[in-house]
Amino acid sequence: MTLELSSPSTLLVLLLVLQPLLQILTLPRHFSISRIARLFCNLPFFATILSYEDLPNKMSLKPLTVYYAGPGPNPPKVGIILEELSIPYEIKMVGYGDLKQKPYTDLNPNGRAPVLQDPNTGYKIWETGAIIEYLIDQYDIEKRLTYASGLKKYELKQWLFFQVSGQGPYWGQAAWFNLFHAEKLPSAQKRYVDEIHRVVGVLDGVLGQSENGWLVGDKITYADLAFITWHVVLAGIFSPPEFKDQWDITKYPHYKKWVETMLERPAVKKVLEEQQRLVAESS
């Protein structure tokens, strides 16, 4: 039997066969056989004849290391992504007093947490947003928390950048001036509390226009998950008596449903509970 290369059906078969081969050629070297097998099984042509669960797990990744410090909301952002992608990892707690001195500053000259060390690539990276992008690019081959191509990829970056430049810094300053600053500065407190409401208002408005209740597309992504740990600290930010009546989540119904849905995810629950346990043990 001869194949007519000009035949549409022949070209389709060739495309279906070559697609996974081309994808594998672009995978990082550290990917295990099990992960490559999972990639095959998620492709339309092979999904009809293969089941990933039936394939042996011949190799596994070495655990990644994430450095935490206290109850801060940034390290668990990384933990949640690792859990959602089923990447093995271990947590190392660093005392606040050790963040600004060696040997920790050899890992992060900025002296903050988190830091990620990946023994599979020999790579070290800090800054939460950069870590999240690294994990997605290196390990989310199944596109659980991202999209394969198209403009949605840039929308995801847009929301991640909004989180790291808008939500995190402003909410962090609100926490500082409401809870820790030695002198009460009402103008500074109002400034950052107002920013919390502004950021939540932006999110609530966009989510209200979303058909699926997520920031981008029809599924949860890393862009959504990046926001959840800072939401958790809102209770503390508004805990001083003079601020107790300044936060009512029911005024933001779409935001409320969004965060409540994320807080029910097993990965989110596990990471937040683990952080609480580690903080209690280290105190």
Question: Which domains does the chain possess?
Answer: 17-54 (no CATH), 64-139 (3.40.30.10), 152-282 (1.20.1050.10)
Cβ-based burial of 1 (10 A; exposed 0-12, middle 13-18, buried ≥19):
exposed
Query: Is the model's pLDDT at 108 over the cut of 80?
Result: yes
Q: What percent of the chain has pLDDT over 70?
A: 79
Q: What does the alpha-carbon distance between residue 9 and residue 230 come to, in Å, rounded to a whole number?
A: 52
Asked if residue 135 lies in contact with residue 78, where contact means CB atoms within 8 angstroms, the answer is yes
Amino acid 54: pLDDT = 33
Q: Per-residue pLDDT averaged across 266-278, rounded? A: 97
CB contact burial 169-191 (16+ within 10 A = b; e otherwise): ebbbbbbebbeeeeeeeeebbee
With 0.85 as the threshold, say if the pTM is over it. Answer: no
- DSSP single-letter state for residue 3: -
N-term to C-term CA, the chain: 74
User: Quick one: how many helices (H) and strands (E) in the chain?
Assistant: 14, 4
Range with the lowest mean pLDDT among 41-45, 126-130, 199-203, 217-221?
A: 41-45
Closest to 171 measured CA to CA, from 230, 100, 105, 246:
230
Query: Is the model's pLDDT at 8 over the cut of 70?
Result: no
Q: What percent of the chain has pLDDT over 90?
A: 75
Considering only residues 50 and 34, tell me which one the structure prediction assigns the higher pLDDT.
34
256 contact partners, CB below 8 Å, separation of at least 6: 249, 250
147-180: pLDDT as tens digits: 987 899 999 999 999 999 999 999 999 999 999 9
Q: What does the alpha-carbon distance between residue 65 and residue 87 come to, in Å, rounded to a whole number?
A: 11
- DSSP single-letter state for residue 177: I
Closest to 76 measured CA to CA, from 131, 125, 122, 124:
131
The one-letter code for the residue type at 41 is C
Backbone angle region of 135, left / alpha / beta, with phi > 0 → left and psi within -120 to 50 → alpha: alpha
